[in-house]
Structures are given as C-alpha cells and as structure tokens.
Amino acid sequence: MRTDQDQPVRLADYQPPDWLVETVELDVSLHPTATRVRARLKVRPNPSARAAAPLTLDGDGLTLKSIKLDGRPLSADSFTATPDKLSIPQPPQRACLLEIETLVDPTANTQLTGLYRAGATYCTQCEAEGFRRITYFPDRPDVMAIYTTRIEAEKADAPVLLSNGNLVASGDVAGTTRHFAVWHDPFPKPSYLFALVGGALGHVEDAFVTMSGRNVALRIYVEPGKESRAGFAMDALKRAMRWDEQAFGREYDLDIFMIVAVSAFNMGAMENKGLNVFNDKYVLATPDTATDADYASIDAIIAHEYFHNWTGNRITCRDWFQLCLKEGLTVFRDQEYTADQRSRPVKRIADVRVLRAHQFVEDAGPLAHPVRPDTYREINNFYTPTVYEKGAEIVRMLKTLLGAQGFRKGMDLYFKRHDGHAATIEDFVGCFADATGIDLTQFMRWYRQAGTPEVAVTMSHDAKARTCTLALAQMLRPTPGQSVKEPMVIPLAIGLIAPDGHDIPLTLADGRAVERGVLVLSDPAETFVFTNVGTRPVASLNRAFSAPVKLTANLTPDDLHFLAAHDSDPFNRWQALQTLASTLLTDNVKALRAGNPMRTDGGLVAALGTILADPQVEPAFAAQALAVPSEADIARELGRDVDPDAIFTARVALRAELGNALGAALRDAYRRLSDGGTYSPDAASAGRRSLKNIALDLLAASGSSAAIALAARQYQSADNMTDRLAAVSTLSLYPVRERQAAIDDFYRRYQSDPLVIDKWFALQAAIPEPATLERVQELTRHPAFSLGNPNRVRSLVGAFTQMNQTQFNRPDGAGYAFLADTVLALDGKNPQVASRMMTAFRSWRALEAVRRARAEAELKRVAAAPSLSPDVRDIVERSLAET
C-alpha cells in the first residue's frame, strides 16, 4: 500500500516525466503464489524535463529480486528499493537498459488490481495505478512505450496466454510441462493499458473487415462451457466497430481484438489495448439468464470499451486529472451509439434519469468535485458520475453549441493532431475552437466549476406587441472548496408552441433567427424577445436536456399538460409528466411531515391514461412516462430534511392511485403486450416488455389480488429472465404467500449460475420492509455470499444501501451501522470496492435530524478505525468535512 497518501496530488504541480521509456520487454512466468516478472526497459532522459534528474520508478507492494543497468548488476549503494519505490539517484544521463526482476503473488491479491486471479484465471487490472504492482515503472499515463510481452505457464493450468497486440511467437518450453506466448503491441501506450491473461478459457471467434478492407480477428474468451452466452456480445462488438467507422471515421488498428470475461472484477470493464477485460456480467447473456436491461448494458459497455481504442488509447490522458478527456468523451460516444441502435428519445430519457440519480446527487453533496478535479488523494475515487456522465454532457453541449458539422470538424482535428499522444482538456477543447473559430474560453468553466447550475426562466407574452419574452437567470451554489462561482455558458434548446401544437419560428427582435433553436445563456441574467408571436405560446425549455442544469420556469399545470400532449420534443413531453408527478410527490411528502392530508392529481392520471391508450406512442416511451419518480429522485428534489418513510408513503399512494384509476387500461396493455413470441433482446421488444411489466406492477400496487396471482403466474410461465425477474420483483414488494415461494424457486432454478444468483441477492436486499436488514445480515452468511467477489458485494450490500431507501435509512441507524461494519470488514481485502460502498453516505447531510445524527455517528466510527485504506479514508473524510 502506498504511503504518500496524506499528500494530495495537485494538477498545478504537474511536471513532465524526467525519464521516458521507449520499449518494455516483459517476461512473466506465471505461478499461483510466486510469479516472476522480468522487465527490460529502454529508458532515456526526457529532453524537455529537468537535467540530471534521478531515475525514480513507482512500485506498490513489490519484492525486488535483481536489478541491472546496461547488463551489469547495480551495486547496493547505487540504488534504493522499497516495496513502493525504486530509485537510482545518479543514473547515467543517456539512453540505457534497465533490467528488473520482481516476484508477485497473484493468489494473495484480493485488491483485484495488478496481477490477480479471478477463479483460476490469471488476469491484470492496471488502471489507474496497478502496473506498479507488477513491476517498478514510471507508472503515469504520459509515459508511453512499446510493449513486447512473453508469458510462460504450466500448459495444463493456463493453456490460453494473452496480452496486448499481435501474437508473434508461441510454443513449448523444451524439457518442461510449460509453454509460452509472445505478444507485441506496435502502438505506444501508457502502462495502465497493459494487460495479460492466462487460463483455461473457451472462446468464440468471428471476423470484421474494416472500412479500408483489413481483416480483423475477433475473439471473446469465457469460462469453458459458457461460449454460447457470448453471441450477443460478439454481435454488439461488430456493430460498435462499424458505427465508429460511420459516425467518427475511426477504424480498428490491430490484426486482432480480444475480450476476456472474468468473474471477479472491480468495475464494469477495462479498455486495455487489443485485450479488453470484462466483468462477465457485461459479456454473458442468454434469454433465460439476462434481462433486457442486461442486454442493453452489454451493448453499451462493449461499445464503450471498444470506442476507447481511439478516445483513451491512441490518444490518452497526460495525467489523471484529465480522466474525463477519455471517459466523458467515450461515454458520449457510447450514448450516441446506443441512441442510433435503439430509440433516441428513450435513450436520452434513460441517460438523464441516470445523470440526475447519480451525478446531480453527487454534485449536491460533500463529494462534489469538478469534472476535471484539481486535486486528489486517491485517484480510484474519481471514477465518478461527475467525471463520466457530466463529462459526457459537456461533450454533448459542445456538439449543441457548434452544430453537428462543427463538432465533427473538431473531432477530426483532435484525432489528427493528438494521435499517439497524451493530451489535456485544453488540447481537446482547443481543437473545437480552432476548427470552428468559436471562442470556448468561458465554456472551459464546465470543467473547473463543480455543482449543478440552476436556471430560472420567466416567460411573458405581450399580445399587443405580438412579442414573447424569456427572461433567463443562472445561479451556481458553492461546493466544497469553491465558494465563489462564475457564470457558465448554457446552451438551452427551446421551442415556443402555439395553441395548435405547432412550433412558432423563433425570430429575435433584431430579425435574427435562433440558430438550431438554441439560446446561449452566458451572463448571470439575459432576456430574449421573440417577435411575431400573436397568441400566448407555451415554452418548451431545455429540449432533449441540452444542458445538465436544474431548470425552473413559470409554467402552469395546464402548460405542463399541454407540453405532455403536444411538444414535438419527446424528452420534454416526458419531462412535463415527471415535473407534475414530482411536484405532487414533494407536496405530499411535506403534507405528511406536517400531519396534513395528501392530495391527488387527476390531470396527471388522465395524461398518463392518454399515453397508455395511444397506439402511436412507442411502448418504451409509455413505460418511461408511467415510471413515477423514484424515492431517490424525490429525496433529491426535496434537497433537505429528507424523511425516506414519508417519501415511500407518498410514492406508494401515487402508484396505487395510478393502478386503480388506470386499471382497465393497464389490464388491456398487459394482455395486448403479452404476445408470447420467441424472446428477442431488440429495443422494440424490450420496450413492449417494459410497458407490460410496469402495467403488472401498477396493478399490483392498487392492492389487487388478481394482479398478485397474475404476477405469480408470469413468474412460473416466463420464458425469459426479464419477465421472470419483473414478476418476482413485483411480488417481493408485498407480504404475500406467493413471494417467498417465488424467491425460493428462483434460488433452486439458478443456484449454479452466479450472475443470476446476484439478482437473487439484490431482489431480497431491496424489499422495503423492517425485516429486510436482518434478512440481509443473514444472507451475508449464506454459502453463496463472499466479500471476495465484487459482484456479490454489490448485489447484496450495494442493492440494500442504494435501492432500499427506507431500510438503509432506518431511523434507528441500524442500516448505517451495517454498512459501516461491512466497509470495515471489506477494506483490508478490497479497498476500491469498500470505498465505493461507502459513497452510499454521500447525501447524509440532507437527511432529517434524527437520521442525520445516526449517519454522522457511523461515518465518525469508520473515520476512527485504526487502519483504513487511503481509498476509504478519502471518502470518509470528504463526506465529513465542513463545507
């Protein structure tokens, strides 16, 4: 473990590396507990750095076996080596060859970074700073080198040996039971993109012909016997490769592209050059084991990692502060890919739901940070919704501001100018400014300033003057370390809708048209006057969620109903309904807190009924409309004095009302959509299933015993996991006999299938009842539970703390204590997953006083623990810091 964690790293302190590495030759001899790593590094002083600098290499828990410089062993007094650092104070100031031998124990590696074992498979995870757990190295992304990797292992244990690049040699090691493979990657890359895999793996194979006619072999490696589950992932890969050629002109560059699915992985997947390593959850799928949502995630993540080949690998980050350079841009690219593959409006709605649920919440609490942070203690804690999702929103805004053509020009310039280099955000934005001539200086604030901007809009209409005026004002609240904020550049896509439902041409007072319907707000307050507007229109604001802001406007309930029915922008039709529902729910929570009766909203119910009955509306959209704001959404809207029990009660009441009032239409939709055809994961079929299952869920919410019987029947007769899991999830919400029967049956059916058993754990952890905490605690002792498997931890502990608002936030604090205990137990094994679990406390200050005090006490208990990883310490200290 590193020891310099008390010293934060600062962007302002960036210095180019003193030494560069030209080539790396690795020779890795795999062994369960004593893997020998020989590294031959051709190093040379960096001409653009300090003169006569020492040669310092990073390490993390390493044991040095031998070291040579230019072929000669180094004398003991000419270097120092600790587990965390190798230093040669006075190296020759010229190119030289450094040979280092280290020994690592992959079986003892429970952190799952560096070289570790997932089951029996050897694999690596080097982002962000894992390579230094394999060998001493200047482990920073601006040191780009060419790698050749020889791997050796027992043939019987690891018949498959893989690394980055192309295979150049393989064979038996004469006179032994071992064999070897040599891989060469001709593209210079940072150490975090290095990967190596060894094991007994099966694979599926396909091929792709690139736009210039090159043939690329495609392979997906899985546990033997699971090959038939990799077909959808392979199909996704080919679609992603084609899309990147068509949408961005980007072609794949090696002769082979490999994906390896492993059962133990800290994150979703990793974009190692030519050798992506995946959490098997995002590769393996059959209709009987994966839901529609799983298929959609596989599609998106396969694409995301593939797209990194250009945005991340060929052009990488100069330093870890620039993480959003690769992540925000690549998320934007995978969102666009999915939008083109599926329904664009439904995808946008889903993405905005995620953004608000995670990023807005992060931005409103103690863990808020800029998309490009300027300081960090532990980089692993910055793989956040802000860096990823808000980072993607910034790229989307660039496209909105510059138009599709200007955006493409900027991207083309970026690829041309920075290919093969480690770049910065300034480099990236500079390409758009240079390609279009547009000044983006103020726009850069999106990278620097944390927090979600709030935009207030007041519309007025002057019938006599035939003008319509939009007065806009923006505000950005203080966030940790940033008390004073400057105005942002906010691109607001808008429309003015006439009473007949048509968009009015947007003509400004000076006769100019509003380009692409986008108003650009860059001052604290601005007023836009539109001419030739005879009757009062309804304003449709922030269409397609063009800017990641919180918007308020003087829209009446009637206006919102009008938008829900008539807006040509489907996102805002959905938003209007969400705004109505959210207003109702927050009002009712406040009423409950004050001991007053709740109100109902007949207009909202009627609007939802209209959507449900309209055959023109795509089912996936209707499902999004009927999915009322989540408990976490309501908590976020309230912002303070959050009482999860009141939120739960208000939400249950609305769902019951919808189930009752729309009963006939819901039953009708359920029947209509139960088409019984063979399962296909395509977006249209998935949309029909999601509407059918939400209909079932709302019918059950109305208290109908017929709906419970229907759910039990659907559970039994389902021919796919989407319908089966939806049925048991609906049953799980009610204390009915059918519930436990289905939960027990689910275990029996799927006990040999770890990814499905993850769902079984999550399902039970999410039951909103007082008995759940005890059930979760019991499940931690279930033979299938293990703190060693991140998917298991996320499915039980993650589901409980993130999906079960009432029980995690029990007023007696027992939910918080459980999380604290779990984090303390996990931290010694896997600090990355432990610190991620800890972020469930990120909104603790917004809770009502009793819960807030309990959460604070548990946070302080963790903070006081004798030995904490830098990862958990960082999260706990920032969570507790006074703002």
- Exactly one of 60, 139, 142, 271 binds ligand 0A1 (CB under 6 A); that residue is 271
Q: Which is nearer to ligand 0A1, 125 or 722 (CB)?
A: 125
Q: What radius of gyration, in Å, describes the C-alpha atoms of the chain? A: 28
Tell me how far apart the alpha carbons of residues 875 and 858 are, in angstroms, rounded to a whole number.
Answer: 13
| Residue 827 binds which entry of Zn ion, ligand 0A1, none, CB below 5-8 Å type-dependent | none
Least separation, in Å, of the C-beta of 289 and ligand 0A1?
23
By CB under 6 A, residue 299 contacts ligand 0A1 = no
Q: Which is nearer to ligand 0A1, 1 or 404 (CB)?
A: 1
Q: Which is nearer to Zn ion, 330 or 690 (CB)?
A: 330
Q: Which is nearer to ligand 0A1, 338 or 380 (CB)?
A: 380
Tell me how far apart the alpha carbons of residues 503 and 879 are, in angstroms, rounded to a whole number.
Answer: 46
Q: Which is nearer to ligand 0A1, 266 or 822 (CB)?
A: 266
Least separation, in Å, of the C-beta of 541 and ligand 0A1?
32
By CB under 6 A, residue 269 contacts ligand 0A1 = yes
| Residue 269 binds which entry of Zn ion, ligand 0A1, none, CB below 5-8 Å type-dependent | ligand 0A1
Residues in CB range of 651: below 8 A, 6 or more apart: 585, 628, 629, 631, 634
Q: Output the six-digit token pair for 598.
A: 């709740």
Q: Which residues of 437-449 are buried (b: 16+ CB within 10 A; e: fewer)?
A: eeebeebbbbbeb
Q: Which is nearer to Zn ion, 311 or 540 (CB)?
A: 311
| Residue 334 binds which entry of ligand 0A1, Zn ion, none, CB below 5-8 Å type-dependent | none
Least separation, in Å, of the C-beta of 323 and ligand 0A1?
9
Q: Which stretch binds Zn ion (CB under 5 A): 179-187, 261-269, 322-330, 373-381?
A: 322-330
Residues in CB range of 737: below 8 A, 6 or more apart: none
By CB under 6 A, residue 283 contacts ligand 0A1 = no
Q: Which is nearer to Zn ion, 275 or 707 (CB)?
A: 275
Tell me how far apart the alpha carbons of residues 761 and 725 are, in angstroms, rounded to a whole number.
Answer: 12
Tell me how far apart the alpha carbons of residues 126 and 350 are, in angstroms, rounded to a whole number.
Answer: 31
Sign of CA dihedral 361, 363, 366, 370: positive
Tell me how far apart the alpha carbons of residues 375 and 381 are, in angstroms, rounded to a whole number.
Answer: 12
By CB under 6 A, residue 127 contacts ligand 0A1 = yes
Least separation, in Å, of the C-beta of 330 and Zn ion?
5
By the 8 A CB rule, do 112 and 826 touch? no
By CB under 6 A, residue 313 contacts ligand 0A1 = no
By CB under 6 A, residue 380 contacts ligand 0A1 = yes
- Exactly one of 115, 162, 196, 267 binds ligand 0A1 (CB under 6 A); that residue is 267
Residue 96 forms beta bridges with which residues?
A: 43
Q: Residues 394-433 vs ligand 0A1: string with x where CB under 6 A?
A: ----------------------------------------
Least separation, in Å, of the C-beta of 666 and ligand 0A1?
39
User: Residues 127, 305, 657, 738: which is the catalytic one?
Assistant: 305
Q: Which stretch binds ligand 0A1 (CB under 6 A): 261-269, 413-421, 547-555, 803-811?
A: 261-269
Least separation, in Å, of the C-beta of 308 and Zn ion?
6
By CB under 6 A, residue 125 contacts ligand 0A1 = yes
Q: Which is nearer to Zn ion, 25 or 389 (CB)?
A: 389
CB burial class (10 A; 0-12, 13-18, 19+) of residue 639?
exposed
By the 8 A CB rule, do 563 and 576 touch? yes
**Residue 77: Cβ within 10 Å count:** 7
Q: Which stretch binds Zn ion (CB under 5 A): 326-334, 434-442, 637-645, 818-826?
A: 326-334
Q: Which is nearer to ligand 0A1, 126 or 488 (CB)?
A: 126
Can you spell out the DSSP letters for 121-161? EEEEE-TTTTGGGTS-B--STT--EEEEEEEEEETTT-SEE
Omega within 30 of 0 (cis) for the link into 128: yes
The SS3 of residue 69 is strand
By the 8 A CB rule, do 347 and 337 touch? no
- Exactly one of 268, 403, 406, 480 binds ligand 0A1 (CB under 6 A); that residue is 268
Judged by CB under 6 A, the chain residues 322 through 341 that form the site for ligand 0A1 are: 327
| Integer CA distances (angstroms), 577 to 127, 545, 558, 572, in order | 42, 15, 11, 9
Tell me how far apart the alpha carbons of residues 804 and 728 are, in angstroms, rounded to a whole number.
Answer: 16
Q: Which is nearer to ligand 0A1, 359 or 722 (CB)?
A: 359
Least separation, in Å, of the C-beta of 296 and ligand 0A1?
16
Angle 389-312-120 from CA coordinates, rounded to 5° = 95
Angle of helix 570-594 relative to helix 602-613, nearest 10 degrees, comes to 150
Judged by CB under 5 A, the chain residues 327 through 356 that form the site for Zn ion are: 327, 330
Q: Residues 806-845 vs ligand 0A1: string with x where CB under 6 A?
A: --------------------------x-------------
Least separation, in Å, of the C-beta of 384 and ligand 0A1?
11
Least separation, in Å, of the C-beta of 794 and ligand 0A1?
14
By the 8 A CB rule, do 135 and 289 touch? no
Residue facing ligand 0A1 at closest CB distance: 267
Residues in CB range of 345: below 8 A, 6 or more apart: 544, 570, 571, 574, 621
State the first-to-last Cα distance of the chain, in angstroms, to the nearest integer. 30
| Integer CA distances (angstroms), 767 to 16, 414, 780, in order | 52, 49, 16
Q: Which is nearer to Zn ion, 279 or 330 (CB)?
A: 330
User: If binding means CB under 6 A, how many residues of this protein chain bind ligand 0A1?
Assistant: 16
By the 8 A CB rule, do 540 and 494 touch? yes
Q: Which stretch binds ligand 0A1 (CB under 6 A): 156-164, 195-203, 264-272, 748-756?
A: 264-272
By CB under 6 A, residue 871 contacts ligand 0A1 = no
By CB under 6 A, residue 266 contacts ligand 0A1 = yes
By CB under 6 A, residue 542 contacts ligand 0A1 = no
What is the residue type of 777? Answer: Q
Least separation, in Å, of the C-beta of 122 and ligand 0A1?
17
Judged by CB under 6 A, the chain residues 480 through 539 that form the site for ligand 0A1 are: none
Q: Which is nearer to Zn ion, 142 or 327 (CB)?
A: 327
- Exactly one of 160, 236, 270, 538 binds ligand 0A1 (CB under 6 A); that residue is 270
Beta strand 35-45 with 96-104: parallel, antiparallel or unpaired? antiparallel
305 is catalytic: yes
The SS3 of residue 465 is coil
Least separation, in Å, of the C-beta of 305 and Zn ion?
7
**Residue entry with tokens 């210039």:** 212
Tell me how far apart the alpha carbons of residues 434 and 436 are, in angstroms, rounded to a whole number.
Answer: 6
Contact set with Zn ion (CB under 5 A): 327, 330
Just list the catalytic residues.
Answer: 305
Q: Please report, as ranges, the residues that interact with ligand 0A1 according to CB under 6 A.
A: 113, 125, 127-128, 266-271, 304-305, 327, 380, 383, 832
